[in-house]
Chain A
Amino acid sequence: MYTKPFSYHRPKSLEDAVALFGKSSDPRYLAGGQTLIPTMKQRLAAPSDLIDLGGLSALAFIRKSADMLMIGAGTRHAAVATSADVKSAIPALAYLAEGIGDPAVRHRGTIGGSLANNDPAADYPAAVLGLGATVKTTKRSIAADEFFTGMFETALQDGEIVTEIAFPIPEKAGYAKFPNPASRYAMVGVFVAKVKTGVRVAVTGAGPCVFRVPQMEAALAKDFSDGAIANIKVAADDLNSDLHGSREYRAHLVTVMARRAVAGA
């Protein structure tokens, strides 16, 4: 597979990266490249300039405070999956990261890249929305509820780079994924968390963009048990439907996976 020609840059600072972006005609940032590179090889993307953020080692970190877990945008999935801090603070997040793609993907892909791409079947959006995390960028802080705006769409503006994700450490959290049998992306993935502000339930894979399920959140706030949501079904109308699962099946799986996430929390 052969890409279209492009210019490659490896800036040493965020400022340089942003400046390069501003100067290029059709630039793309490159994080772990696990989506962008295959897309370029298939010639579905042909940026004029590829700005590799891989040289910004300051973006790869995991830090824990009393009530927050901060993960740098350049942190690879494998680092999150194996981090003692993540495992002790939010074990469900380590578990989620451990189930992304395959070992090669986990050792290249980054949390910032995944969030900026916002693939409707990616795992991380469920954790960020489910925990009510804050996405920090070169320009500002964006609440998870404001960040994911649609299929492959986010609140990020042109040239804006995700730098860090700040997760509140929950009292309890769980993640359950039903993988697409072929791609192993989430056909339905549900992240459930009990945080200070209440219970949050976020669903990835089922719809065009990660979404919350207020009915389940309300039920779990009263009774945090899998039985409490056994009869709550999301509407199938707006869900994805493809070869592997109809929207009705996905709607059914949301309840099953939500129950399993709660049971595992």
Chain B
Amino acid sequence: MTASLIGRPVKRKEDRRFITGTGHYTDDLSRPHQTHAVFVRSPHAHAKIRKIDAAPALALPGVIQVLTGEDLKADNVQGLICGWMIHSKDGSPMKAGGHPALALGKVRYVGDHVAVVIAETPAAAKDGAEAVVVDYEELPSVTSTGDAQSSSVQIHDEAPRNTVYQWALGDEKATGAAFANAAQVVELNLVNNRLIPNAMEPRAALGEYDSGSGIYTLTTTSQNPHVARLVLSAFVQIAPEHKLRVIAPDVGGGFGSKIFIYPEETVCVWAAKRVGRPVKWTAERGESFLADAHGRDHVTHGALALDKDGRVLGLRVKTTANLGAYLSTFSSAVPTYLYATLLSGQYNIPAIYAEVDAVYTNTAPVDAYRGAGRPEATYVVERLMEEAARKLKLDPAEIRRRNFIREFPHQTPVILAYDIGDYDASLKEAVKRADVSGFAQRKADAAKRDKKRGLGFSTYIEACGLAPSAAVGSLGAGVGLWESAEVRVNPTGSVEVLTGSHSHGQGHETTFAQLVADRLGISIDQVEIVHGDTDKVQFGMGTYGSRSAAVGLSAISLATDKVIAKAKHIAAYVMEVPEDDVEFKDGEFAAVKTNKKMTFGEVALAAYVGHKFPTDQIEPGLKETSFYDPKNFTFPAGCHICEVEIDPDTGVVEIVKFTAVDDFGTVINPMIVEGQVHGGIAQGIGQALLEHGVYDKESGQLLTGSYMDYCMPRADDLPSFEVGMTITACPSNPIGVKGCGEAGAIAAPAAVMNAITDALGVKEFDMPATPEKVWRALSGQRA
């Protein structure tokens, strides 16, 4: 028996082209007669547009056209959509204002799209964009989450008090009763800071129109090209679906920000017909800061009711979520069904009630960003648990143990039914790896050096593998979240796997090939993963929410099963034995009780040659498809422990140790999983210590509009991570995988902040824990 490829750290097949500069990103592509687009953006947070004068731009050499929202309107191009309907607790549908790709009469945030200048060169387009004269009537603005509902500023006429919805989940009465009976109540005010995604590759688009066939092609930086095509055809109405091809070639990171259908991409593909030539746009980094969908931005009050032994009786959460100036594609779902459904954490909590108000502000739209709702939920639950442990003078590990869910399946009071997990195992392993028992000594040693040490836990859970279609449909999603796969065997026995998942750094070309090669008993080099082109792959929902392995690879697994079944059928005919006598193992079809054998390649050739079996009974060829709809979400969970040391002189927080023990179910490639964990933790630590998207309260200008002010984590901000795994195989999909892409970003912020509040001895302390904030907290104690 050959060794299984599953669980092996196979080197990433795609990396050779990435690190030798031979990948093909959108901006690498150029077409004959291509033109270049530059967007005229609003310099104001909120203003009426009195007039747009394009004449000075059009007079410049190289400027071809200047297009505005009125031109989109004239072509009946519709506004962008939010694909998830949320109803307020009074039953009314969410109050969504219009979202034109180019402004109609009003701009609502700094960076909002006013017009596009199409020119012969990028420089000419830039000159043109500077020359367009826009007459604005400035309006007062509101950017802060907490101020949006009380402000007199009206951002969309459709949404009074700038309120999109007032949503609730859980049992208010039962939760009230739990608090009435509580021996202890722990309360915290928490801010989940606004983050700005920073994929290495900025967004880009290349729009083309073929006047002969009437087919539009949009090549773009998308995590889900089929969804982009669906939205652009069915809703925005650029072109019928069969006349629109969307290609997402190599994409350099997304973190959620490339899920959404944005104005720039929409305008480029539409303008290609208007101009009669291809139209290309690549975002400058400054545009990414201004106009990529941001993440998080919650203001929350959380309260935990406990009995005298530290058992949780109830949880009450009130959150205001900032959705920015327009509702981005999935924005409405993030602070509701991706957030409040996770508030039970790893704990048996009898009653939970969560209220979420979503608000418009004069800021960039906010949507899913690595973790999307689940980091926010984990942050609330885990900060509260740690605070409860301190108040009840319980060991933070012990209070968690007392509340862990141990029987599965477990129905939480907030929709989700956890299928499997072993929270004691990951906690135990993490406590061991973090050397928690030696912490007191390390803290004492640090004190001798005038440093303050702290330790923080985060036992998190996430719902991944988005998602069972019926479940999300009942919750308001406009799409089903299944995935498709096609396994195409060539006559020579090599295999093309077409998947609706999209790889933009995750390494699908390796992990997906590992599974298929393992199942078919062929070399991994015989397997090619094809994705990211609506002309090649029939349909797909794309990659986000740690869903590609659990849903996309499950579809591949089922299609592969079908291929094996058919191959077996053909092999039986060719070997002239009953099908039941054919066994498939290690790439060979063997007829038991005989010495007849066929390799997978031989059967593939037979399938296409068709000489040796009745083609009126068995179709020739070897190609199967599968549409897989998961039975349940998957529930990755684990325990992260952070140890910090603070320099009281400067307030600088050093992460001296970070331990992560995760349960991702079956692991296909541990090297890639570890890489995902590292990246996620880096982003989580980034949120806790460094990153913060800040708008000026008065002017509404983005103050953190470049790397000079927006603080990305760097290697020297991070320790070497201690990473471990415990495994409970997921029963809800055929592979047993749960998903690993978001865990670090979900778990880390709470672990870091629990460590910092431990070191400082303070209760409330918001992210990011900048040196000045830490220093001030300590100065307050000294004073």
- Chain A interface (Cβ < 8 Å from any Cβ of B): 1-5, 42-43, 178, 180-183, 185, 243-246, 249, 252-253, 256
Contact = CB atoms under 8 A, between A and B. Distances in A.
Given A2-B126, A181-B690, A243 B704 contact: yes
A2 B708 CA distance: 20
Given A1-B284, A43-B126, A246-B772, 18 more contacts: A2-B122, A2-B123, A3-B123, A181-B690, A181-B711, A181-B770, A181-B771, A182-B690, A182-B711, A183-B707, A185-B708, A243-B694, A243-B704, A243-B709, A244-B770, A245-B771, A253-B650, A256-B650
A249 B778 CA distance: 12
Nearest to B768: A181
B14 interface: no
The 8 closest A-B pairs by CB, nearest first: A182-B711, A2-B123, A183-B708, A249-B772, A181-B711, A256-B649, A2-B126, A2-B122
A182 B772 contact: no
B775 A252 contact: yes
Interface of B: 122-123, 126-127, 130, 284, 286, 649-650, 690, 694, 703-704, 707-712, 770-772, 775-776
B775 A249 contact: yes
Given A178-B650, A181-B711, A256-B649, A244 B772 contact: yes
B284 A243 contact: no
Among A3, A182, A245, A253, find the residue whose CB has the most chain B CB atoms closer than 10 A. A182
Contacts of A256: 649-650
A182 B775 contact: no
A182 B650 contact: no
Contacts, number: 47
Contacts of A43: 126, 130
B1 to A, nearest CB: 50
Nearest to A178: B650
A256 B778 CA distance: 15
Contacts of B694: 243
Contacts of A3: 123
Contacts of B770: 181, 244
A181 B713 CA distance: 9
B336 to A, nearest CB: 31
Given A178-B650, A181-B770, A243 B703 contact: yes
A243 B691 CA distance: 12
A162 to B, nearest CB: 25
A106 to B, nearest CB: 16
Contacts of B284: 1
Given A182-B710, A183-B707, A256-B649, A245 B772 contact: yes
Contacts of B708: 180, 182-183, 185
A4 B123 CA distance: 8
Contacts of B711: 181-182
Nearest to B649: A256
A42 B771 CA distance: 30
A190 to B, nearest CB: 13
Nearest to A185: B708
A120 to B, nearest CB: 13
A42 B712 CA distance: 21
Nearest to A250: B772
Nearest to B647: A256
Contacts of A253: 650
A253 B707 CA distance: 23
